[in-house]
Structure 1
């Protein structure tokens, strides 16, 4: 029998249906991989092995009766931002110590309803604030990829670093993730995996620990474009408990895979040609253009003139919303409590001990830009810029553009501790934040390796609720580029 952990979700689905193997066998194979590798990769903060076995056995019973759901028996990892009933949910923060919610997030409820199996909770940047998975209370996640001939550890990207590393390292078949400014697409690019941030409102945010409510969106990380399409179909839904979720039918995304891209108009934004971008990133982008042109797509240069304001505007809007959302963590109702001489002292002590440095930095920035005298100068102006960014994209769609092709990241994965300047770290999101500011869908697809043997991704940006086109075009890139696997050095 082939190594079960090497299968894609699509392949495993067929194997389970044909009874070539059971969900329990599949689950045990992944639990064994986690046992061997997690000490080196630190991708999981909690492994729910007993629950996984129980869910797998239940799936096998359903499959035996021919009653399996769309993800019946498929083992997944869950980012620690998603509430899982009675199971560790701490956003990888000390301030939520011991929190086990009495409810389940809508996204994970949808996955369990379709038969998925939970392997455990995945490491992440604290409260999803970070681009390298170095801000987690549970320590760095390590990227399964290394430079050719090097033993130096690399970051997996962030904030969904545990999700990306677990998929790349074969510690789950796919993973849930969230994206506020690039937190699905950047780690996917750093680990040679596929990550899609759907349109804002496509997936319910109910039961996901909030960072920036007008930007956060759940999505999957998987090995292939097809697998990410399968997962998103199950994750997406309208939800009465989340008024920002949109009541638009969720299409069969998998049906888009393999469709022709002939005649599609692909926009190439000149503003994404940034100063100091490595030649390898430029060459990869050009390679992607050539692949799509060869497949029959029409390539057109477009302008998104407000792109240069996206990063500064994002780092006003996101921290402002974070400072508001994180005000609820005070040591009174749940999580960490550090005593003080009175209630205000207790608040201060709890927050000082409970929040990490990056989270504190963003709360301070957010509180500042919302304060009297600065609200108009910063927050209001950033919201106006956001409107202009969205209008740039609207004009592209109005001119017949079907999707936009850009690099996913300005560089490949780097070593932990290599970037210490927060602003330099924030620049990792330079190609991704516009998509969140405009509420659009974006996908990162592995497109090649750099000269040091590290994966690089290309990003496709789509029209609102047109994820199907991204899957269709993304498959062309995947077919042309091939698939990439790290050489195993762990476990």
Structure 2
């Protein structure tokens, strides 16, 4: 049985009433994973024994009215530390790494009673847009198994879209939650930078990375986001901001009078015609509900990808220095000296995309090139942030396409890094500015039947407006009611 036609709130009530047990839900999740994962390849590790044990403990104690997540099966992206369960970041260099502590976000969902059923596949160290860069397997899109699920959180997105779990952790450095959400026809939220702790999340680009959720519905996403948000003494970049009960306000949500800005760059003729048609129809729907729409310009968007890949790769080259074959992780065999340990361990342990970004980042930070590349990209980042702040002075949200295309064929772009990087054109600007953004299902392409995502971008720490705006669309359309049949379109 899948989790398609239910929600966290509905399952919670069934648990409280005794109509279903936590053990039943966990078994349902593992049965569904067994049914689908040979085709999807969404999971890298399962947590079966520990999950069933925890479910039995919850059943024995009972679920109270205020324990909304108790007994709910969820999945964790495999670059988020889980004590006692391998965390590999989909890299050979961490193939057998078993963390001795949980990431803060994992600890928080454990305290809330949620149950981790397993670790999901990703692009190695979250570097990629298709989940083809994993050292272990390629994840497939449940709407069409010949297509990518997006990246880097492709395993999490595929698991949710296939009905394996109700929610799965993702991380978003330049679109790695929103793009998989778009490609899989689900909801993906990247909160404001600092809203959620990064403690225990394997770092890619520390000034960009943010943990969020992939879910089937907007309300489930809001419930889960509240559970992991807030100040963390372990993470000095986490913000001391009040965490609202976002889900509680949704039933009274309205978009009447909502001021929507639509950048020309987000609905340009560079988009696939079918994607553009779906996004424009979604915007007209908002207009019919009482929102006002203005077309605006964000002139620095075109510089987003080159500036992002310089900055994020520079941070990655620094963060990945720790994988040296000495302290933990993979170590090359038959080495002759210390230099050999470093060079061969990293050469054999890292995949091609990771090495490419380390080299790019190291070059950008090197003497003689820092001012020409890194420093200039940092200045462009500020200009891009200013574009957003200026538009959001007079508007409540910014809208446009999440991606320029629907999910592409597996193998069609993996050998062309430049082409792959430009898939992120519409998502990386948000991370440059540290703003909250989400992708929701907007419709389907007439050409290939694949999902199309609508991106909604908001003001810093104003996730409530995003959730309200997304919820109204969800409740007034039937897009989210369609589910994939594995192996082909709905």
The interval holding the TM-score normalised by the smaller chain is over 0.9
User: 1:93: how far off?
Assistant: 0.4
Q: How does 1:6-405 map to 2 (within 5 A)?
A: 6-64=5-63, 66=64, 69-146=67-144, 153-258=146-251, 259-339=253-333, 340-398=335-393, 400-405=394-399
Are 1:448 and 1:481, in contact at CA under 8 Å, matched by a contact in 2? Answer: no
State the partner residue of 2:405.
411
User: 1:236: how far off?
Assistant: 1.0
* Corresponding position: 1:466 with 2:462: yes
Q: Deviations over 1:287-332 (max 9, x none)?
A: 1111111111111122212111111100100000000000100010
Are 2:189 and 2:438, in contact at CA under 8 Å, matched by a contact in 1? Answer: yes
Are 2:255 and 2:289, in contact at CA under 8 Å, matched by a contact in 1? Answer: yes
User: 1:422: how far off?
Assistant: 0.6
Are 1:291 and 1:480, in contact at CA under 8 Å, matched by a contact in 2? Answer: no
Normalising by structure 1, report the TM-score.
Answer: 0.96
Gaps of 5+ in 1: 147-151
* Aligned counterpart for 2:437 among listed residues 432, 442, 445: 442
User: 1:256: how far off?
Assistant: 3.1
Distance 1:60 1:413 in 2: 40
User: 1:282: how far off?
Assistant: 1.5
Q: Deviations over 1:401-457 (max 9, x none)?
A: 100111011101111111121111111111100000000000000011112211111
Gaps of 5+ in 2: none
Greater displacement, 388-397 / 11-20 = 11-20
Alignment RMSD, CA only? 1.4
The size of the alignment, in residue pairs, is 482
User: 1:58: how far off?
Assistant: 2.0
User: 1:276: how far off?
Assistant: 2.9
Normalising by structure 2, report the TM-score.
Answer: 0.96
User: 1:5: how far off?
Assistant: 5.8
Distance 1:247 1:371 in 2: 35
User: 1:86: how far off?
Assistant: 1.6
Q: Kindly tell me: are residues 323 and 186 of structure 1, through their superposed partners in 2, closer, same or farther at Cα, counting changes over 3 Å?
A: same
Q: Kindly tell me: are residues 304 and 351 of structure 1, through their superposed partners in 2, closer, same or farther at Cα, counting changes over 3 Å?
A: same
User: 1:275: how far off?
Assistant: 4.3
* Aligned counterpart for 2:420 among listed residues 425, 431, 442: 425
Distance 1:369 1:330 in 2: 21
User: 1:279: how far off?
Assistant: 1.2
Q: Kindly tell me: are residues 35 and 41 of structure 1, through their superposed partners in 2, closer, same or farther at Cα, counting changes over 3 Å?
A: same
Distance 2:212 2:330 in 1: 29
Are 2:91 and 2:125, in contact at CA under 8 Å, matched by a contact in 1? Answer: yes
